[in-house]
Structure 1
Amino acid sequence: MATPSVATTHTDASKAHRLGELREFLMSRRARVSPAEAGLPDGGARRRTPGLRREEVAVLAGVGASWYQWLEQGRDISVSPQVLDSVARVLKLSSAERRHLYVLAGLNPPAPEVAQDDWAMCEGLHRLINTWMPYPAHIMDAYWNCVMYNDAAASVLGMRSETSENCLLTFFSDPIYRARATSWQRNAPQVVAMYRAACSEHPQDDGFSAVIAEARSTSAEFAELWERRDILPGGQVAKEIEHPVVGTLFLESTQLKVPARPDLTIVMHTPMPGAGSDEGEAVDTAGKLAWLASPEGRRGSIYPVAG
């Protein structure tokens, strides 16, 4: 008889752990939902089960009682997204809990959603990017529409009300950006590839389609780069900005995600050495950014720069 491999043993142990977690998770969620919350009579003092009974969950979810019992016992059975969604609805799972249920059941989780209580996070995120001063920072939605930006993004990157609110369109159509961003030619293919990656999971989304159509109609360069079909995940972009007041700035933008707000991306800029420069250049960029944010710098910086 062949001896089980180490990989097989590890896989079996991981699966057993996952199914055990599924059992404990479903039992704990079922205990939280009262019969009244599920639209059932509470049974009065005769009821000894906290929350719903297994049979009640099965009836409300439209599945067999034996099947649900096997699911909650952590048996290795076949499940479908539709059935898990029915169970999640009965157990009143949040978006995060629903994704967790999928993972424990061995299925690919659905796309994350913004929970009702997390829509108010923008105020806290605004405080976050303001704390990043004197370095530029802004926040984009899924389509790269600019949601908010700090003062440094306005003075250094030229974010202003008269430009397009969409960062991709601004990149290709803002003349000030094109004149000041000396790294534009190098960055353009990366920016387009990152946008294609952002919209690749939503091929039928009209919001992405509208941005792409406008970019195609206003920029032949975008249209050419888009046809390359390059894909890059959102990450870091090195930028060289020729600011009309303080001169050359070497910046690195980093895209950050907040799990509770998957519809938003925080883009934070940090000073960095330029190509072929020494470490002193990074210190110089940081000093220039600090000066631009000072009262003296605010008075002296009157020309916006897009980026």
Structure 2
Amino acid sequence: MSRRARVSPGDAGLPDGGARRRTPGLRREEVAVLAGVGVSWYQWLEQGRDITVSGQVLDSVSRVLKLDEPERRHLYVLAGLNPPLLAVPPVQAPVSESIQRLIDSWMPLPANVIDRYWNNVAYNTAATAVFDFDERCSNCLFSFFHNTLYRDRHVGWDHDASLVVAEYRAAAAEFPGDEGFAAIVDELSATSELFAELWARGDVRPPGTRPKHVEHPLVGELRFESTQLRIPDRPDLTVVLHNAAPGTDTMRKLEWLASPEGRRSTFRPIAG
């Protein structure tokens, strides 16, 4: 009712009725007509009665009431339906300075940002020192299976490969029919027999926090807890944070890698 009251007849393309109009905003019957639903049904919806609703009808009501995305999702919840998938911008905007500052502030711990296809769109210098991230690491799934340096550093790579593929299938399932996922899967299946075998299993595993063990050529063993976090105002992006595992000397070693001496030791020119 509060959202109906804030939409004027003029906003909805209706005559305002002049001084005779006493209802603030739209009347129930006007919302019903504009949304293509029955007046009684819409009244029952406002009253929270036990009625059958569909996402298509809720979207029509949302359009008439000019609900924004959080309000539309909340309407689904109020109606007892699962909220729709978060809308992804049709044109992928670059990573904002605030997001880059976020992962830079995570230093000396590694952090990076991936899009829904796991393209590596931003990372901090610790991610470069530990995981060899640079402009050649355009997609994390490709790097996992084709970057030999990363594979050599990743202890338990064979075990984690099945988990990574299962997590990618879960990511792809959020966007059924997306040709971007299909293109990546097809190319990797053609270039990696192991990936093709693991993908054919059909395993699905939601992303979360899992251990990651790295054997670094300069500082030796590094143990992390890797966590993926969605960015609320950029649903197309995920921040991957690596925290030092408790009871290890990982943080001390990372602090050395981030020091001037450590940076000089890890620097290597990019091959042209």
Q: TM-score, normalised by structure 2?
A: 0.91
Show the counterpart of 2:157: 184
Given the alignment, which residue of 254, 259, 272 partners 1:294?
A: 259
Distance 1:174 1:115 in 2: 30
**Number of residue-to-residue matches in the alignment:** 268
Question: How much does 1:258 deviate?
Answer: 2.6
Contact in 2 for aligned 1:140/1:266 (Cα 8 Å): yes
Distance 1:147 1:46 in 2: 57
Larger mean Cα displacement after TM superposition, 107-116 or 235-244: 107-116
- The reply to whether residue 245 of structure 1 matches residue 218 of structure 2 is yes
Q: Which has the higher contact order (CA 8 A, sep 6+)?
A: 1
Question: How much does 1:183 deviate?
Answer: 2.4
1:42-191 equivalences under 5 Å are: 42-114=16-88, 122-163=96-137, 165-191=138-164
Contact in 2 for aligned 1:114/1:260 (Cα 8 Å): no
Q: 1:92 to 1:193 in 2, by over 3 A?
A: same
Distance 1:85 1:55 in 2: 17
The structure with the largest alpha-carbon Rg is 1
Letter in 2 for 1:224: E
SS of corresponding position for 2:118: coil
Show the counterpart of 2:4: 30
Letter in 1 for 2:172: C
Contact in 2 for aligned 1:154/1:160 (Cα 8 Å): yes
SS of corresponding position for 1:297: helix
Gaps in structure 2 of 5+ consecutive residues = none
Q: 1:290 to 1:192 in 2, by over 3 A?
A: same
SS of corresponding position for 1:187: helix
Letter in 2 for 1:70: W
Distance 1:225 1:267 in 2: 23
SS of corresponding position for 1:143: coil
Distance 1:288 1:221 in 2: 33
Gaps in structure 1 of 5+ consecutive residues = 1-26, 274-278
Question: How much does 1:263 deviate?
Answer: 1.9
Distance 1:229 1:47 in 2: 60
More helix by share: 1
Larger mean Cα displacement after TM superposition, 253-262 or 284-293: 253-262
Cα root mean square deviation, aligned: 2.1
Contact in 1 for aligned 2:95/2:121 (Cα 8 Å): no
Letter in 1 for 2:221: T
Identity of aligned residues (%): 62
Distance 2:19 2:89 in 1: 35
Show the counterpart of 1:226: 199
